[in-house]
A and B are shown apart, each in its own frame.
Chain A
Amino acid sequence: SAVISQKPSRDICQRGTSLTIQCQVDSQVTMMFWYRQQPGQSLTLIATANQGSEATYESGFVIDKFPISRPNLTFSTLTVSNMSPEDSSIYLCSVRTGDGYTFGSGTRLTVV
């Protein structure tokens, strides 16, 4: 299965600022997925990132708030823009592999 390197692992940010999260995969993958996991809750899909096209966002998530880049088949970034305390969550990237979905180690974001 794929190995994903995600960074930063955690950050504390001031409200109104932006944070960019990076995921690097050790193999080429068509689709990468970005999830949010709020405290004590399950994972919610934010968007699907395809190389060479605009990301597809789920209901409740918009590009202006969560811009995504996918410059090649092994890398993607998610930016959390104009942050507020409600954005405090764990953000995870994921890829589909032969035996399921593999996740990055997650980014624990705290907005103060």
Chain B
Amino acid sequence: GQNIDQPTEMTATEGAIVQINCTYQTSGFNGLFWYQQHAGEAPTFLSYNVLDGLEEKGRFSSFLSRSKGYSYLLLKELQMKDSASYLCAVEAYGQNFVFGPGTRLSVLP
């Protein structure tokens, strides 16, 4: 099976930078995804990491270390609309796509 852990809640200020961590334990790792979910809406895809390193996409970046079972999502220049839940999810060979518990981010003015 897979075990995924994220902080439950985080708070940050508009314009700041926030890092949301995700640790996982799995065999047959195939990739790690980050999703954003606003209240009452479906999750939307943010990033996908297969290899170690940093993937940058505008204000959002995602980092992966497969040897450490660790990823983080970095959000820069925070905006009020970034207040949402952020879910990391792991895909593994022969296993289903599993979501972490999610991190609820509140951006304050």
A residues with a Cβ closer than 8 A to B are 1, 33, 41-45, 48, 58, 92, 96, 99-106, 108
Contact = CB atoms under 8 A, between A and B. Distances in A.
Interface stretch (B10-18, B65-73, B93-101): B93-101
Contacts of B98: 45
Interface of chain A, main secondary structure: strand
A104 B43 CA distance: 9
A105 B96 contact: no
Interface in B27-56: 33, 40-45, 48
Given A43-B87, A48-B96, A103 B101 contact: no
A99 B102 contact: no
A73 to B, nearest CB: 19
A106 B96 contact: no
Contacts of B45: 1, 99-102
A108 B41 CA distance: 10
Contacts of A103: 42-44
B20 to A, nearest CB: 14
Contacts of A108: 40
Counting chain A CB atoms within 10 Å of each CB, which of B42, B96, B99 scores highest? B42
B100 A45 contact: no
A-B residue pairs, 8 tightest by C-beta: A103-B42, A100-B45, A42-B102, A43-B99, A42-B99, A106-B42, A42-B101, A105-B42
